[in-house]
Amino acid sequence: MAKPKVISVANQKGGVGKSTSVYNLGAGLAMDGKKVLMLDVDPQADLTKMLGQRKPHDLPLTLANAMSDVVAGTMPRDHPEIMHHHEGFDFVPGNRSLSAVEVSLVNVMSRETVLRQYVDSVKRDYDYVLLDCRPSLGMLVINALSASDYVLIPVQADYLAAEDMTELVGTVRSIQRQINPRLKIGGVFLTMANETNFRKDIVATVKSNFGKHLPVMDAVIPATVRLAEVSTADKSIFQHEPRGRAAEAYRSLTKEVLKIGEKQRSRTSDLSCLKFITHKIMMSIISDMLIRLRQRPAFTRKRSPNGCIAVTCFGTPGLFNLPKPSTTTSMSQMRSA
């Protein structure tokens, strides 16, 4: 199994489509055959409700318990908090206890990496771990970003608040610098685009405004009541209206997410392939030298017909071709004289 990718969906603004996107993106990845785990890192528990758990605050085991276990050093080996969804992926529900956990983290050592420790303990069974963030830049979001390889930023098409984006990107950059250097911005994508801003080719506008600083994804999620219905239908858009525009948009987003990190991965595999070949060549040279050493004397001397002494080094002839010393006769002559 390839290395799992951990992806946060974050924007400190509420109501931009984070939870809806985590659900539909996760379902899209699962339909593509990927093993997916979603974590609800929002005390409002909207994702948990969308996934059919209508009373998240009554759930006995949630992400809040798991994070508390990490803090207490009592994380169980099996993970009873992980639930299975009928669309073929797993999820860990959240509820309001996460707020209490967030407050308690203030006094905890390594408080920014509690969620990362949890994610590290479960991610090996998955291809993708998707984290649905709460609308803030508080400790839970910092924990989510610290645990992630990538962050996706949904932005409401007609809002596009440059100030909010700057603040979020600033937080991402400082987490990259101080806590998690592997965190990258996977992309910004537009949600809730209505007919007007769809027609205006809004992606081109956004790309020209933000494209220099941030990767802007091509997928644009339309504003449609079908997606609003998903929050209570207990079905992703792929089951709710598989042939509609919204399903098409989330299919495109899924394809783009599947490509995230591909360039880096192929570069890494090129590099490791090169290292492997170099290693193989070195090993064959060394073993060849050892065989020659064992089988043949290091140096042999042979007198050639032209009177030269050919010296063979480790069986390789002609390394040294020494001319017959002209002084040999005169020396013996001197001795006999």
Ligand X SMILES: Nc1ncnc2c1ncn2[C@@H]1O[C@H](COP(=O)(O)OP(=O)(O)O)[C@@H](O)[C@H]1O
Binding mask 186-225 for ligand X (x = CB under 6 A): -----xx----------------------------x-xx-
Does position 14 bind ligand X by CB under 6 A?
Answer: yes
Asked whether position 148 contacts Mg ion by CB under 5 A, the answer is no
**Judged by CB under 6 A, which of 103, 228, 289, 293 binds ligand X?**
228
Q: Which amino acid, 307?
A: G
- Interface size with ligand X, residues (CB under 6 A): 17
Instruction: Give yes or no for residue 80 binding ligand X (CB under 6 A).
Output: no
Q: What are phi and psi of 94, to 5 degrees?
A: -120, 165
DSSP label at residue 166: H
Q: What angle do CA 143, 28, 55 make, to 5 degrees?
A: 60
If contact means CB under 5 to 8 A according to the sort of partner, which of ligand X, Mg ion, none does residue 223 touch? ligand X
The residue with tokens 């080996």 is 77
> Does the footprint of Mg ion cover residue 19 (CB under 5 A)?
yes
Least Cβ distance, residue 34 to ligand X (angstroms): 21
DSSP string, 49-100: HHTT-S-GGG-SS-HHHHHHHHHHT---SS-TT-EEETTTEEEE---THHHH
Q: Does 18 bind Mg ion (CB under 5 A)?
A: yes
Would you count residue 95 as binding Mg ion (CB under 5 A)? no
Closer of 117 and 236 to ligand X (Cβ): 236
Give whole-number Cα distances, 140 to 28, 100, 114, 277, 298, in Å: 26, 11, 9, 45, 69
Instruction: Catalog residues that contact ligand X under the rule CB under 6 A.
Output: 14-20, 46, 135, 191-192, 221, 223-224, 227-228, 231
